[in-house]
Structure 1
Amino acid sequence: MKDVQNERDERNIPINKVGIRGLRIPIVVRDQSQQRQATIADVNMYVNLPHHYRGTHMSRFGEILHRYAHDLSLEHLESILTEMKQRFECEEAHIEISFPYFIMKSAPVSGMQSYMEYRCSVQASLGENLSLTMGVEVPIHSLCPCSKEISSYGAHNQRGIVRIQAQTKGFVWFEELISLAEKQASAPLFTILKRSDEKYITEKAYTNAKFVEDTARDIALALNRDERILWYHIEVENEESIHNHNAYACIMRNKTDED
């Protein structure tokens, strides 16, 4: 059959990224406590396309990914990208994977256990060298210091979301980044809480009031202390409970530029 994709293109314009987006597939990822966890991922895969090729062979992306979906470890991610470069005869290959990740958490007083959902992601690229960025989205509880200071009693609370992206030079568990984010909030969130737990969380948040800026800066300090983290991008967004807008803070730092 005629291979239309391999026809020569005379427009002389290379394409930086071409591939597939929004492929949903069951995968298995590494789990710190249970070793492995099955989940469902949304996957994007791209390669660069030289100017003389008209198109690329889209089916090859899925073929490569399905062979490794049983264990998307760091080693296998590099193997996927290497095979992409070989199969597509390209100089750069990219993969983006995002998925729900569940951690069993115990309530702070009752010890009641329940699964808490987080959104995790991995972005990997392979040109001359491998670049790997891991990400987490962590829901948190925040209490406003200003509201606490000016009110005779009580203070307004909000649900927040922490997003961390980090490039590392050593292995880092998703659980480590999730725990780091929760520790810098006014209080963490849980799926199931008994009354004794609700009292504890409410009082903990009240004694640990934080602006969105406080949370972002405290997370940055914790990431600065971790020598495995080379670069990070932090976003903290609080869904305000008494304002018709969200509060937002962002911190970016490339630690390798300072060496």
Structure 2
Amino acid sequence: MYTQEQTARLLPDVAHHAQPHLAGALDWVGMDGIEVPVRFDAGDGEPQRASARVGAFVNLHRPDKRGIHMSRLYLLVEHALSAGQLTAGALRDLLHAFLESHKDLSDRACLSIRFEQLVRRPALRSGNSGWRAYPVCIEASMVGEDFLLEYGTEVVYSSTCPASAALSRQLIQDQFARDFDVSHPLEHAAVLAWLGSERGIVATPHAQRSVARLRVRVAAGGAFHLIKLIDRVEQALGTPVQTAVKREDEQAFALANGSNLMFCEDAARRIQKALDADANLADFHIRVEHQESLHPHDAVAYASKGVAGGLGGAARA
């Protein structure tokens, strides 16, 4: 068996010793799709282990060097993320270790982590509950000692079109006018029976599954609060998709849709207002997508906090 020192002498390191065929600095070099388990506390004090895909990168500012030490990045990721819990401090330390391991080659480092977090959500009325899997993307970067942390997720909800609702109400009014002669007095029992019949709901507004994609920047000294973020957004929208559903839950969901008619512009503004009130967020970017049941295309709106040097526009979502 060879010692580590002997192995280092015997095995050539072309990336370290050989000169590049073409000299030039590179923005980022590293690995993407590294498979590693992570432990993440979404804010309920119960860290979950999830299977993650990780991207680990540093820049190569030395044009005379052919490559970086990718195995160093891999081992640092594997050790830090497998053993510890995902926190802002842990990610800062990991990026600092990236730079320390490449101090002769790099002065910038970045990291992306993607996984799904299971969150138990209560039913609307029945007292039951079920699990929802929320996608999580965490991105962190370090330039010198400047550390930047962003994370994102998605909220799926139902959106009922206000224009379609108004047109449906008009058709119901027309049907009522045909079924009840204006010259005859109305009978409470007859009207009540009519409202409970199919003739009392001759048209229904179109609704569709919709998605709010969120990207937020944590304020200096802030922490991950995934469940808090999800709660804010779902409460602002009023119609998040459900897990366990009994008839009383479905009826409550129908009531919520009728009470929360919204265009994609309305949804974006609701979320924008809710996130503006969160002091833990330095910046945010929102993309809402109403996957139309009327059209073959989607209705989309964007919103952000609008701070200087923010998270970017539509192209980044």
Q: Give the match for residue 109 of structure 1.
A: 125
Identity %: 28
Matched, 1:214 2:283: no
Matched, 1:150 2:160: no
Matched, 1:122 2:138: yes
Q: Give the match for residue 156 of structure 2.
A: 139
State the Cα deviation string for residues 108-156 of structure 1 (Å, max 9, x = none).
Answer: 1001111111111110000130000011111111111111011134211
Q: Give the match for residue 253 of structure 1.
A: 305
Unaligned runs of 5+ in 2: 1-10, 172-202, 311-317
State the Cα deviation string for residues 209-253 of structure 1 (Å, max 9, x = none).
Answer: 011111111111112222322211100011111211111111133
Q: Give the match for residue 80 of structure 2.
A: 68
Given candidates 12, 19, 28, the residue that maps to 2:30 is: 19
Q: Secondary structure, in 3 states, of the residue corresponding to 1:31?
A: coil
How far, CA to CA, are the matches of 1:100 and 1:216 in structure 2?
Answer: 24
Q: Give the match for residue 44 of structure 2.
A: 33
How big is the alpha-carbon RMSD for the aligned residues of Structure 1 and Structure 2?
1.6
How far, CA to CA, are the matches of 1:46 and 1:57 in structure 2?
Answer: 10
Given candidates 225, 228, 237, the residue that maps to 2:277 is: 225
Matched, 1:241 2:255: no
How far, CA to CA, are the matches of 1:85 and 1:30 in structure 2?
Answer: 27
How far, CA to CA, are the matches of 1:8 and 1:133 in structure 2?
Answer: 37
Q: Give the match for residue 2 of structure 1.
A: 12
Q: Which amino acid aligns with 2:265?
A: E
**Contact 2:209 2:291 (8 Å CA) reproduced:** yes
Matched, 1:79 2:93: yes
More helix as a share of residues: 2
**Number of residues paired by the alignment?**
258
Q: Give the match for residue 88 of structure 1.
A: 102
Q: Select between 96-105 and 249-258 the one with higher mean Cα deviation.
A: 249-258
Q: Select between 226-235 and 89-98 the one with higher mean Cα deviation.
A: 226-235
How far, CA to CA, are the matches of 2:228 and 2:134 in structure 1?
Answer: 13
Q: What TM-score do the two structures reach when normalised by structure 2? A: 0.78
Q: Give the match for residue 212 of structure 2.
A: 162
Bigger radius of gyration among the two = 2
How far, CA to CA, are the matches of 1:65 and 1:112 in structure 2?
Answer: 39
Unaligned runs of 5+ in 1: none
Q: What TM-score do the two structures reach when normalised by structure 1? A: 0.94
Q: Which amino acid aligns with 2:12?
A: K
Q: Select between 119-128 and 248-257 the one with higher mean Cα deviation.
A: 248-257
Matched, 1:59 2:71: yes
State the Cα deviation string for residues 154-184 of structure 1 (Å, max 9, x = none).
Answer: 2111101111111121224011111122122
**Contact 1:186 1:209 (8 Å CA) reproduced:** no
Following TM superposition, by how much is the alpha carbon of 1:254 offset from its aligned partner in structure 2, in angstroms? 3.7
Q: Secondary structure, in 3 states, of the residue corresponding to 1:184?
A: helix
**Contact 1:10 1:52 (8 Å CA) reproduced:** no
State the Cα deviation string for residues 35-84 of structure 1 (Å, max 9, x = none).
Answer: 31111111111100121210122222220011122312111101110000
Following TM superposition, by how much is the alpha carbon of 1:92 offset from its aligned partner in structure 2, in angstroms? 0.5
- Structure 1 residues 254 and 85: alpha-carbon distance in aligned structure 2, compared to 1, 3 A threshold: farther
Following TM superposition, by how much is the alpha carbon of 1:257 offset from its aligned partner in structure 2, in angstroms? 6.6
- Structure 1 residues 18 and 117: alpha-carbon distance in aligned structure 2, compared to 1, 3 A threshold: same
State the Cα deviation string for residues 2-43 of structure 1 (Å, max 9, x = none).
Answer: 211113336331110110011122111113224311111111
